[in-house]
Structures are given as structure tokens and as C-alpha cells.
A and B are shown apart, each in its own frame.
Chain A
Amino acid sequence: DAGVTQSPTHLIKTRGQQVTLRCSPISGHKSVSWYQQVLGQGPQFIFQYYEKEERGRGNFPDRFSARQFPNYSSELNVNALLLGDSALYLCASSFGQITGELFFGEGSRLTVL
């Protein structure tokens, strides 16, 4: 069975640009969470979506937005990129809304120049 897949795996952007990251959860999983991991730090929660609705939002500016599609895949959008947005963006899927085991994808490594 396929695990959580994310695309792209690596990307380079310049300040002020916009980026869209994509995630496909494990088949049957209805919840997708997005985390930002800066080098040397733990993952920081950005968003959780369950059944296509936002169920939680972390302490991130409005430049960050996300959505979940009817097939439970998800996109994370970041506008007006800053140097500090450079990080590994992790998508994690789980079966239900209540926090259980998270299955992480390999991540999308974003570099902002």
C-alpha cells in the first residue's frame, strides 16, 4: 500500500513568490495535517483538515492557507514567501479527527532565496 505522498520533494523560490505543496494521504485516511520543520527543530503544527473542513490552525500568519479536496488530498499554499519560510514541510495523515498515530510523508523541502 502507498504511504503518504508529497510533491514536490524539493523546490527553490525567491522572496515574495508563492508556493503550493501537495499531499496525498494513505487510502482510507480522512485527516491531513501540515507541519513545518525548521532544521534542528521539532515539527510545528500549521493546519489540520478532516472531512474537507479546517479543524485546527497553528500560530502561522495568514500567508499560509490550505484546503482538502473530496478525495482527501490536500494543498498547502504560502504567499509572499520570506527567507524564514525555508523549511521542510511535512504532511501527515491519520484515520480520524481525534489525534492518533500520524503517518508522515517524506516532506517538501522549500528553500527561499
Chain B
Amino acid sequence: GQQVMQIPQYQHVQEGEDFTTYCNSSTTLSNIQWYKQRPGGHPVFLIQLVKSGEVKKQKRLTFQFGEAKKNSSLHITATQTTDVGTYFCAGSGNTPLVFGKGTRLSVIA
């Protein structure tokens, strides 16, 4: 079945440093979504990408969908302590969303 892999599993950064997490699917996706889960919380939707090569920005966050629609990345510029949490990608290929294992981001002030 469809698998979605994320790297790295953990990332510790100093406040102000950049952060990137990568997502790869075993199959071509119709769309990819990104979610953030704060410690003790539930996943919260960030964005959805549907087009090959699509790039979307939300303030300091940049999301990219690969040309082959099998990979994606999330880049955070100048991290802040409020960015702490686990970032999940979730892909769909005409199937219910399949989540990756997430990248846990720690930000040291």
C-alpha cells in the first residue's frame, strides 16, 4: 500500500536558524497536505498542495510539491519558539490520507 516517509525524525535548532523537513511517497499523489501538532495537542491543517511543482508560502513557511508529485518539503525561515511541534505530511492518491511519521522540531531560545 501507499507509504509516506519523512526525514529527519527529529531536528533541534537554535532560534533564528532555518528548518526543513522532507516527505517522500512510494506512489504518485493527487495531493499532499501538511499538518502541525503541538505537544499534547492534535494535528492542525497548514496547507494543501495539488499541482506538480507547486510552491506556496505562508509568512516564514514555504511548501513545495515535487514535479513528479511524489515528494514535498516544508521550509521554515528563521525559526521561533512558537514553531515547536511535530510537522506531518499526509498524502492522498485517491485514497484516504496517509500520514508520515512526522518531524519533531525543537527550538532552543
Chain A residues proximal to chain B, CB less than 8 Å:
33, 35, 41-45, 48, 55-56, 58-59, 90, 99-107
Count CB-based A-B contacts (< 8 Å): 52
What is the distance, in angstroms, from B97's C-beta to the closest C-beta of chain A? 6
Count, chain B residues at interface, CB 8 A: 23
| Interface check B48, CB cutoff 8 A | yes
Q: Which residue of A lies closest to B92 (CB)?
A: A99
Chain B residues proximal to chain A, CB less than 8 Å:
1, 6, 30-31, 33, 35, 41-45, 48, 88, 90, 92, 95-102
A-side binding surface: helix, strand, loop or mixed?
A: loop
- Of B45, B96, B100, B102, the most chain A CB neighbours within 10 A belong to B96
A42 near B96: Cβ-Cβ < 8 Å: no
A42 near B102: Cβ-Cβ < 8 Å: yes
| Among B42, B45, B48, B100, contact of A107 (Cβ-Cβ < 8 Å) | B42
Q: Which residue of B lies closest to A59 (CB)?
A: B1
Cα A106 to Cα B98 in complex, Å, equals 19
